[in-house]
Amino acid sequence: MHRRGHVGITLLGVSPVLYLLLPDRPFLSLLSLGVFVVEPLPDYDQRIEWFEHRKTSHSLLTAGIIGGVCAGLGWMGGSHVTVPVADWLLSIAASDDTTLAWIAAQLGLLDAPTLALVGVWIGTGGVLLHLAGDIITVSGIQPLLPFSGRTISLSSLYADNRTANIGFFLLGWLSLLVVSLLTTPLGDAVRTISEIIPGIWT
């Protein structure tokens, strides 16, 4: 896939995660969007002279390594940033300051084990979502490198297929819109408007 197609596939992958997290853990759902930072990384192999495109950079090994690095960063962030900041906010919050207390509570949920899991999702998930976009093309990928050079391709679709790239892009944004309508105040507003409009004409 080209960039639009990859973005659409990533949106399709992120939407279920946002659906599960947005209502109760909005901060965690925002962090999960870090997959958009990691997802394009495998294609940076084209900028490094001694790297072959769609080789080891597009493998499960790379997904695991990046996931491990991001998990470590997440653990450090939870241990040294989010939880200490949450404790500090609670110590300075007035008894009637519900907003600050809510922010502190949300940050408190971002402890080291939780952020390590988020790191795995961001690192491994980001690379896997990229691989999903390439494995459905005719060129395929070699996901088991460096242990096996077997190429896997799940379709005869070409990466530059304009219809497929735009189609995935639109599907991705549609899935995000559906999640927004189901889990945010935007959805409540739309439902309220849809209930009011018929009454105007009666």
The Cα 89–Cα 124 span in angstroms is: 32
pLDDT tens, residue by residue, 66-93: 999 999 999 999 999 999 999 898 888 7
pLDDT in tens, 175-185: 999 998 888 77
According to the model, what pLDDT value does residue 73 have?
A: 96
Task: Give the pLDDT of residue 201.
Answer: 46
What pLDDT was estimated at residue 202?
A: 45
Q: Is 9 helix (H, G, I), strand (E, B) or coil?
A: helix
Burial 178-188 (b: 16+ CB within 10 A, else e): ebbeebeeeee
Q: Which segments of the chain have a pLDDT < 50?
A: 201-202
Whole-number pLDDT of residue 25: 86
Which pTM was predicted?
A: 0.85
Q: Count CB-CB contacts under 10 A for residue 155.
A: 12
Which residue in 17, 40, 27, 25 sits closest to 131, CA to CA?
40
Q: What's the rounded Cα separation, in Å, for the pair 78 and 63? A: 22
